[in-house]
Structure 1
Amino acid sequence: MKKRPHYIKIIKAVLLVSMLVLLWQYVKVIDPHQIRAALAKVGAGFGWVILSTIVAYALGTLGWLYCFKDSRASIPKIDLFMIRHVCETVGLFNPASFAGGDMLKIVLLKPYSVSQPTVVTSVIISRLLMIVSQICLLLLAVIWFSLQGKMNPGVWLPGTSIVVIAIICLSLGLIIYKLLAFNWHAEKYPKLSRIRAEFANVRSELIHFYRSSPKELALAFLFFTLHWVVGSLEFYIVLKLFGYDITILDGLLLDMGVIVVKAAGAFVPGQIGVEELGNKVMLSLVGISSIPLWLSVSALRRTRQLIWVLIGAIFYSFFIYKKRIYS
């Protein structure tokens, strides 16, 4: 048991070095000339992009806050904002994607007077609500544009893709069902038994949260939905600054589509190249095929992302300085 802290330090060091390497690779692919040209075109209007992301991150924090139910008063909102931002940033440069960031949330919340089961439940519920609210918004945007005759989902989502997605979802459902329903013998399958127990605990916590705190659940879902809507204003603002006449719903569809593309390439640290592909696909979907515009939009979005990565590093330094990690 005495050696365990030593191994934990080694793992932390390896993860830190790997993240720094991936971050360096991320910075290397950013073209400073393209960024300067794009910033020169939009000028001070880029401040509106930063403002929209601040509001979106704040709404996401409020959504997570309500997932703590009665324990939310134990965590200062500004601390929760910083923790969430640090961990979402870690998720960008982690091969485990958001799973690695969510695990870090549990670690960073240890010094606060909130029970471990409550913390774990809040992290899981917040992630599920973020995914569900995002899917709902994407479906609403697709349905709206389809009814308006502006797009044909069959063009970019053929029947084969639907079948593949359905098979993947069904397979995951069957795996989870087997883990929960099958009677694994602890002696023969200790690891599978532990996984089953964890799934059962999570399931019971989710059911308890749903039954005991429907108001908090509804408010969390509302704030996460607003988080996505406000975050999608980035596309709207950027394209408006470049002189394109688009609606807020256009921006919502663009942002939701890019997020889906990024989710598909979540295993790529920093989504290097994946986000640019998403930008190109979604811009062409709404009838914008200008290559210079695509490059400028991608450059501005990467610039915004890099700024918040640096802010995340400052937030993380704050927690280290205060010695609040692992205390």
Structure 2
Amino acid sequence: MKLPSDIAGARAHKNHVFYTISKIAGLAAGITLLYWFVSRSNLTAIGDQLKLINVNFIFLIAATFTGYLMVTIAWRLSFYKYPGHVSLPLLFIIRQIGESLAQINPTNVIAGEALKAVLLKKQKIPYKDSIVSFTISRFLVYFSAVTLIMIGIYVFFDQLKFDVDPVSLAAVASIIFSLFVLFIYRLGRGKGVLSTPAGLLAHLARRFPHSMRLQNVAGRMREIDDELIDFYKNKKINFIAAYLLSFSSWLFGAMEFFLILNFLGFGVTFLSCVAVEVGIMIFKGVGAFIPGQIGIEEYANKMMLEFIHVPDGNIWITVSIVRRARQLFWIGIGFIAFLLVIRKTGESGDGDTVYNA
């Protein structure tokens, strides 16, 4: 007779296998789709377009560096008590190492955050403090992304030629602002922002008692709520500043599109590039289980550039190549920094090794 723990373990193994197969299938489909599009494109024209970027690539690196720096400062503000001995440049390096691993590791964010925690532990920052800072920082990044998506609604209305009067747009803006105020109000009252979905999942977990995933997700939501409430209660200025920095970092993602397209001779507006960034953000969210979102991000570039009426049929491939080159540049920086950290620190005092993360 099988014990409940054995049944739960078998289900977990089955889910893990299914998840792994889904990742491999999604990655294969993305690569196949990408090959199909590229093989039918004018490679000579793409090469000519890439020449227009040339040394201007450094401006793209500068734009992304600014965005990454803003997120790093927001992360620094997300610590309850930030230790002064860890400088901002060092925190930037640690974040870049973790994000680089997240880009190439099948477990994505989990692997990156685990490595950051190990590196911070070497700087005498307890794991618990690191994990809480990750939770708050990551939540603010996602919440600021939702805010940007709401702002992008205006551009979508305009591009789709919807007959929307200024009063309706003002109403949409008012709703967005009201939701933000409600979010702050609930935190201030100690009610949290995830209590409703957490309660729903807890109810489902009671109806399906063998579903450990439902119980774990509901419990994790309650933990996040408690951490957000406590942090907002004690660090209001840090909370709001971190949110504003996280939001601003997304705008530098739009700035990258703005620079690339203008370097290539397409006079697009910055607001249109915000719409592109929003659309690609949604595509990447849907395909988050695929390592590096290979194929997903490229197809998103194609769809969103067509959406803002960029005329050249090959331009999305050029943009994709440039953005992947920028991504590889920062992954390379993270990898070099990782090697330097291993060489400098080696074995930690508590027996943990960096490369075991």
Alpha-carbon distance in structure 1 between the residues aligned to 2:49 and 2:109: 30
1:130 and 2:152 correspond = no
Instruction: For 2:60 and 2:107, locate their aligned partners in 1 and report how far apart those are by CA, in whole Å.
Output: 28
Specify the alignment match of 2:54 in structure 1.
43
**1:104/1:176 Cα in 2 relative to 1: closer, same or farther (>3 Å)?**
farther
Structure 2 length normalisation: TM-score? 0.69
- In the other structure, the counterpart of 1:15 is none
1:283-298 equivalence runs, <5 A: 283-298=305-320
CA shift, 1:183, in A, is 9.9
Matches within 5 A, 1:207-218: 207-218=229-240
Larger deviation: 227-236 or 99-108?
A: 99-108
Q: 1:145 to 1:270 in 2, by over 3 A?
A: closer
Offset at residue 231 of structure 1 (A): 2.4
- Is 1:121 aligned with 2:129? no
Shift of residue 115 of structure 1? Answer: 3.2
In the alignment, the residues of structure 1 paired with residue 162 and residue 316 of structure 2 have an alpha-carbon distance, to the nearest angstrom, of: 22
Match of 2:159 among 140, 150, 170: 150
> Which secondary structure does the structure 1 equivalent of 2:105 belong to?
coil
- Shifted more, 228-237 versus 191-200: the winner is 191-200
SS at match of 1:121: helix
Contact 1:42 1:242 in 2 (8 A): yes
Distance in 1 between the 2:324 and 2:46 partners? 9
* Structure 1 residue matching 2:289: 3-state secondary structure: coil
CA separation of 1:321/1:182 partners in 2, compared to 1, >3 Å: closer, same or farther? Answer: same
Partner of 2:168: none
Which amino acid in the other structure matches residue 102 of structure 2?
A: G
For residue 201 of structure 1, report the CA deviation from its aligned partner: 4.0
Structure 2 residue 233 is the aligned partner of structure 1 residue 224? no
Q: 2:99 corresponds to which residue?
A: 88
Q: 1:107 aligns with which of 107, 113, 118?
A: 118
CA distance in 1, matches of 2:124, 2:162: 48
Q: State how 1:250-261 maps to structure 2 within 5 Å.
A: 250-261=272-283
Q: Report the counterpart of residue 275 of structure 1 in structure 2.
A: 297
Instruction: Give the conservation status (yes or no) of the 8 Å contact 2:202–2:215.
Output: no
Q: Which has the larger radius of gyration?
A: 2
Change in CA separation of 1:298 and 1:72 when aligned onto 2, cut-off 3 Å: same
1:35 to 1:96, Cα distance in 2 relative to 1, 3 A: farther
- Cα distance between partner residues in 2 of 1:108 and 1:179: 34
1:243 maps to 265
Q: Distance in 1 between matches of 2:219 and 2:312?
A: 53
Q: How many Å apart are 1:306 and its aligned residue?
A: 1.2
Q: Which of residues 152, 160, 180 in structure 2 aligns to 1:141?
A: 152
Change (3 A) 1:198 1:291: closer
Would the alpha carbon gap of residues 182 and 133 (structure 1) be closer, same or farther in structure 2, given more than 3 Å must change?
A: same
Select which of 283, 287, 305 maps to 2:327.
Answer: 305
CA pair 145-273 structure 1, distance change in 2 beyond 3 A: closer
TM-score (norm 1): 0.75
- Does the 8 A contact of 2:198 with 2:222 survive in 1? no
CA contact (8 A) 2:195 2:222 kept: no
Aligned length: 281
CA distance in 1, matches of 2:310, 2:216: 51
- Return the alpha-carbon distance in structure 1 between the equivalents of residues 317 and 211 of structure 2: 52
Q: Give the AA of the match of 2:331.
A: V
Query: CA 1:207 to 1:246, structure 2 compared with 1: closer, same or farther past 3 Å?
Result: same
The CA deviation at 1:73 is: 2.3
Instruction: Using the TM superposition, give the Cα deviation of residue 112 of structure 1 relative to its aligned residue in structure 2, in angstroms.
Output: 2.1
Task: Give the aligned residue type for 2:86.
Answer: I
Tell me how far 1:276 sits from its aligned partner.
0.7
Q: Are the equivalent residues in 2 in contact too, given 1:74–1:114 (CA < 8 A)?
A: no
1:105 is displaced (CA, Å) by: 2.1
Q: 1:109 to 1:241 in 2, by over 3 A?
A: same
1:45 maps to a residue whose letter is N
Change (3 A) 1:88 1:212: same
User: In the alignment, what sits opposite 1:97?
Assistant: 108
> More displaced, 70-79 or 31-40?
31-40
Deviations 1:129-174, CA, capped at 9 Å, x for gaps: 101111111210222452xx333589xxxxxxxxxxxxxxxxx987
Cα separation, 1, equivalents of 2:162 and 2:336 = 42
Superposed CA RMSD in Å reads 3.4
Identity of aligned residues (%): 28
**Distance in 1, Cα, partners of 2:344 & 2:313:** 47
Label 1:183 to 1:138 Cα distance change in 2 as closer, same or farther (>3 A). closer
